[in-house]
């Protein structure tokens, strides 16, 4: 298949490389990066010309909307715009509408799995869009990932992503709070893990990504909290969850509190560039704040 790929950063470059390795013809464009594994062209429009599918993997909704305007004008009628960026639901729906108006298919399919998953081709895709769009994207999901869930119409992929990551932000903070409390109660961290990981407090944050160094499976905590999933990316996703919640008048008190806490951690403290599980040392060194 002839594929255009716009946005060849930490995630986009390995995803595009996996498509090339699977035998697809990929024309890539990025304002900065020029990965060696891909044929790099001079503009987004050039990458889009004649492509059956154009994939975007960009930082935010404003950039996505401006790139979309450029590529939609260059794409053939019936081609698919597959956006894998994490952006706000409204931008995703605007881009899908613009694609439809131009006679194109559109799917929003943000990913879970991080840079490791992008390299290994084991991402999870959460997709929003028509059946026809999803069907066209599916063989590419199989190459770049291990699972794709069709979540409904356009924007629903982004909705699923921010709901998932709101749960993740909240449960990571809760897990870190519990470890910090356990420390002060004289409860050994290993004992705490052994109990909680097999009791009703278990979660992905505890069982698969334990924030306490030396406990549970290997995680960024064992590597001095080098990301992994950086605290500022968690803040991005929590901010998107709160934008969406405001837009539809949904009450998300814990999502709101988690957003505030990660904002303080990233913007006023030492959270920038650290894994989001570094919330544990942050809480453990503090006294009671509320």
Q: Does 10 bind ligand NAD (CB under 6 A)?
A: yes
Looking at 34-42, 54-62, 210-218, 282-290, which segment touches ligand NAD (CB under 6 A)? 54-62
Catalytic residue among 2, 136, 147, 161: 161
Nearest approach in angstroms of CB 105 to ligand NAD is 21
Q: Which residues 56-115 are close enough to bind ligand NAD by CB under 6 A?
A: 57-59, 63, 67, 85-86, 111, 114-115
Total of chain residues touching ligand NAD, rule CB under 6 A: 26
**Residue 7 falls in which region: left (phi positive, over 0), alpha (psi -120 to 50) or beta:** left
**Binding test (CB under 6 A) with ligand NAD, winner from 3, 4, 11, 189:** 11
Q: Does 243 bind ligand NAD (CB under 6 A)?
A: no
161 is an active site residue: yes
CA distance 51 to 45: 10
Nearest approach in angstroms of CB 217 to ligand NAD is 19
Q: Does 174 bind ligand NAD (CB under 6 A)?
A: no
Residues in touch with ligand NAD (CB under 6 A): 6-12, 29-33, 44, 57-59, 63, 67, 85-86, 111, 114-115, 229, 233, 236
What residues are labeled active site?
Answer: 161
């Amino acid at each position: 298949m002839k594929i255009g790929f716009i946005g060849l950063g930490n995630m986009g470059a390995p995803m595009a490389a996996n498509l090339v390795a699977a035998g697809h013809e990929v024309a890539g464009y990025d304002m900065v990066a020029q990965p060696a594994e891909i044929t790099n062209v001079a503009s987004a429009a050039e990458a889009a010309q004649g492509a059956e599918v154009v994939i975007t993997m960009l930082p935010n909704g404003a950039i996505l909307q401006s790139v979309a305007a450029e590529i939609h004008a260059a794409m053939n009628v019936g081609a698919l715009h597959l956006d894998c960026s994490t952006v706000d639901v409204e931008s995703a729906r605007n881009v899908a509408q613009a694609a439809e108006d131009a006679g194109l298919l559109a799917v929003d399919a943000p990913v879970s799995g991080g840079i490791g998953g992008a390299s290994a081709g084991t991402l999870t895709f959460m997709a929003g869009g028509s059946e026809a769009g999803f069907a066209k994207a599916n063989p590419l999901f199989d190459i770049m990932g291990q699972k794709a869930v069709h979540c409904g119409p356009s924007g629903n992929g982004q909705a699923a992503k921010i709901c998932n990551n709101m749960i993740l932000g909240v449960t990571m903070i809760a897990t870190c709070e519990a470890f910090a409390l356990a420390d002060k109660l004289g409860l050994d961290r290993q004992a705490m893990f052994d109990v909680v990981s097999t009791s009703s407090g278990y979660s992905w944050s505890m069982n698969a990504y334990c924030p306490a160094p030396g406990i549970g499976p290997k995680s960024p905590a064992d590597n001095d909290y080098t990301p992994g999933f950086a605290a500022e990316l968690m803040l991005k996703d929590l901010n998107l969850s709160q934008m969406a919640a405001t837009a539809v008048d949904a009450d998300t008190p814990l999502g709101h509190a988690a957003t505030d806490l990660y904002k303080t951690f990233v913007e006023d403290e030492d959270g920038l560039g650290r894994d989001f599980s570094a919330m544990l040392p942050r809480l453990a060194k503090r006294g009671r704040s509320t």
